[in-house]
């Protein structure tokens, strides 16, 4: 087999829409870039790149709303740089209680997905003769089967950790509410890191809970 099928599930998930990023609203389903994040948590080397081919949604899409207190500013990188030059952290602080911002989030509840992906060698990987797709796939499968990961995979946002297992055999059928065709609109595909982290979008069509993910360089996805 030339790909990996991973079953991930969690209590909560937040795949923030770029336009509703401040008062967060989640996409209805997992985004390919979030799926890539899950796989990279399990296994990743600079020689390889994960390409998501298909996403399967298993459970009914349910939303929930929460509010959290966060902060409004970032410490600028230049401030840190000057602190490093000065050799002291004097004045380098972010007082959270002066900077409170309450942000609401509409997130997904009780999610389960099956991520189907394949491995491609990156430019660095292609340059080296010892690297191969099969080697990385095997490593990933072994790690997924054992439950090994570099850091705990998460569903969209770091605080929503997920569980994972390697899927053997047939994928389970989706929930009744997911049957039929559903147009999920323009969904974030991934960032094109070769083009200055430009976002790419694709038209997500869910058929019986299955979303086929196009290639990043597919002419279909436009710009």
194 binds other proteins (CB under 8 A): no
Nearer to other proteins, 49 or 188 (CB): 188
Q: Which of residues 77-116 bind other proteins (CB under 8 A)?
A: 101-104, 106
Region of 7-15, 66-74, 123-131, 151-159 interacting with other proteins (CB under 8 A): 66-74
Q: Which of residues 13-52 bind other proteins (CB under 8 A)?
A: 17-23, 25
| Nearest by Cα to 105 from 220, 12, 182, 204 | 12
**Tokens 């989706």 identify what position?**
174
From candidates 11, 46, 69, 72, binder to other proteins by CB under 8 A: 72
From candidates 168, 183, 217, 219, binder to other proteins by CB under 8 A: 183
Residue-by-residue DSSP string for 130-144? T--HHHHHHHHHHHH
Distance between CA atoms of residues 149 and 140, nearest Å: 9
Q: Which residues of 34-47 are buried (b: 16+ CB within 10 A; e: fewer)?
A: bbbbbbbbbbbbeb
**Tokens 């923030």 identify what position?**
16
Distance between CA atoms of residues 60 and 29, nearest Å: 10
Region of 2-10, 37-45, 58-66, 158-166 interacting with other proteins (CB under 8 A): 58-66
Nearer to other proteins, 81 or 145 (CB): 81
Nearer to other proteins, 150 or 193 (CB): 193
Region of 70-78, 82-90, 165-173, 205-213 interacting with other proteins (CB under 8 A): 70-78
Which tokens is 168 given? 């053997």
The angle at the Cα of 133, spanning 130 to 135, to the nearest 5 degrees, equals 65
217 binds other proteins (CB under 8 A): no
Is-contact 213 32, C-beta < 8 A?
A: yes
User: Which residues pair with residue 161 across a beta bridge?
Assistant: 154
Total residues binding other proteins (CB under 8 A) = 38
Residues lying near other proteins in the complex (CB under 8 A) are found at 17-23, 25, 62-65, 67, 70-74, 76, 101-104, 106, 183-186, 188, 191, 197-201, 203, 222-223
């Amino acid at each position: 087999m030339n790909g990996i099928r991973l079953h991930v599930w969690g209590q909560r998930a937040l795949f923030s829409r770029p336009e509703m990023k401040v008062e967060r609203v989640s996409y209805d389903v997992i985004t390919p870039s979030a799926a890539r994040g899950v796989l990279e948590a399990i296994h990743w080397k600079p020689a390889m790149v994960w390409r998501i081919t298909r996403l399967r949604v298993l459970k009914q899409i349910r939303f929930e709303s929460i509010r959290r207190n966060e902060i409004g500013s970032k410490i600028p990188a230049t401030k840190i740089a000057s602190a490093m030059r000065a050799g002291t952290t004097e004045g380098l602080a972010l007082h959270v209680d002066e900077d409170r911002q309450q942000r609401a989030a509409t997130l997904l509840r009780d999610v389960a997905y099956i991520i189907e992906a394949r491995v491609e060698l990156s430019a660095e990987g292609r340059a080296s003769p010892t690297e191969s797709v099969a080697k990385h796939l095997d490593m990933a499968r072994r790690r997924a089967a054992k439950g090994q990961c570099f850091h705990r995979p998460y569903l969209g946002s770091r605080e929503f950790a997920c569980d994972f297992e390697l899927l053997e055999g047939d994928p389970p059928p989706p929930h009744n509410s997911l049957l039929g065709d559903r147009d999920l609109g323009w969904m974030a595909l991934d960032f094109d890191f070769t083009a200055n982290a430009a976002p790419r979008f694709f038209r997500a069509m869910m058929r019986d809970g299955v979303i086929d993910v196009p290639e990043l360089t597919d002419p279909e996805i436009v710009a």
